[in-house]
Amino acid sequence: MSRTQAVVFLMITALIWSTGGVLIKSVDWPPLAISGARSAIAALMLAILCRPLKWTGSFAQIGGALAYAGTVILFVLANKMTTAANAILLQYTAPIYVALFGAWYLGEKTNFSDGLAIFFAFLGMTLFFLDELTPQHFWGNLVAILSGVSFAWLMLFLRKQKEGSGAESVILGNSIAAVVAIPFFPGHLPSLKGSVLLVLLGVGQLGLSYFLYTKTIKYVPAIQAITILFLEPIFNPLWVLLALGERPGKMALIGGSMILMVVLMRALYAARTQVRSPVA
């Protein structure tokens, strides 16, 4: 696969991911049931597409699965409890937590720029709570932050699996999310529209997108991949605004913009530092 093809597929991945907010909000079903059904469909699809699989049972593989399950469950809950913009922008604090925890788990050194990025990211997060929030939105923002933490650990565990593709952790994580959601399934199916959207969530928004992501990410430089994936937090709230008329608060938009800028600047600095460093 050429780099141009990989970039195109990565753009498609980000745009598919960006439909999560509007699809989740449009399904007339409890959030945990949506999460479980979406993950069950995605697990089946990925198990078919990603063969052969290599199950090692390593700490990183199991940890990645648990982190993935936490990420998808918390993200669906956050989308039902707060605005789609808040949910996705707060989840995109994940690279900051990678910098925070990476020094301990991966032995990666942090520097002054990392500390500065973490400070401004947390400052941006506080702006989300300066809006006139309902109690549900307040707790939804907290759930979205936890989704970001879980997403960060998924990144760390996947990076720890140097010889693995990560597909096994994603499949197992989807399976865990589906099992966890079983007690929360209601005694009825969603409406016909909701059922169709649920299938789209599992097959496309989660299944196809992660298949494309795992197949193309290795062909694109890290900094280019990060900038392309920024399409998700930009388009996610836009689709919700156009389809459902949901508008995020002004302070949340300011805080979210600060977070995205901090993440992007840190990634640019890291890429520049790697280029300057001699290769061992």
- Report DSSP letters for 261-278, one per residue: HHHHHHHHHHHHHHHHSP
- On whether residue 76 sits in a domain, the answer given is yes
Sorting pLDDT into bands at 50, 70 and 90, what band is 147?
Answer: very high
Q: What is the per-residue pLDDT for 162?
A: 62
DSSP assignment letter at 279: P
pLDDT tens per residue, range 149-168: 998 898 888 877 766 567 88
| Six-digit token string for 72 | 């998808």
What range does the domain containing 144 cover?
A: 3-275
Sorting pLDDT into bands at 50, 70 and 90, what band is 205?
Answer: very high
Sorting pLDDT into bands at 50, 70 and 90, what band is 279?
Answer: very low
Residues 240/85, Cβ–Cβ less than 8 Å: yes
Sorting pLDDT into bands at 50, 70 and 90, what band is 137?
Answer: confident
Q: What is the per-residue pLDDT for 72?
A: 93
- On whether residue 198 sits in a domain, the answer given is yes
pLDDT tens per residue, range 15-30: 999 999 999 999 999 9
- On whether residue 225 sits in a domain, the answer given is yes
Residue 226 predicted with pLDDT over 50: yes
- On whether residue 217 sits in a domain, the answer given is yes
In one-letter notation, the amino acid at residue 94 is A
**% residues pLDDT > 90 (the chain):** 34
| Six-digit token string for 73 | 């469950």
Q: What is the per-residue pLDDT for 270?
A: 64
Sorting pLDDT into bands at 50, 70 and 90, what band is 172?
Answer: very high
- On whether residue 62 sits in a domain, the answer given is yes
- On whether residue 280 sits in a domain, the answer given is no
| Six-digit token string for 279 | 């290769």
Average pLDDT over the chain, rounded to an integer: 84
Phi/psi-derived region of residue 108, left when phi > 0, alpha when psi is between -120 and 50, beta in every other case: beta
User: Measured in whole angstroms, how far is the alpha carbon of residue 263 from the centre of its chain?
Assistant: 14
- On whether residue 65 sits in a domain, the answer given is yes
pLDDT tens per residue, range 242-255: 888 888 788 878 88
Q: Provide the terminal-to-terminal Cα distance of the chain, rounded to the nearest Å.
A: 28
pLDDT tens per residue, range 251-275: 878 888 887 888 777 767 666 665 4
Those residues whose C-beta lies under 8 Å from the C-beta of residue 196, and which sit 6 or more positions away, are none
Domain count, the chain: 1
Q: What is the per-residue pLDDT for 223?
A: 59
pLDDT tens per residue, range 70-111: 999 999 999 999 888 888 888 888 878 887 787 777 776 666
- On whether residue 164 sits in a domain, the answer given is yes
Asked, as a colleague might, if the bond just before 186 is cis with ω within 30 of 0, I would say no
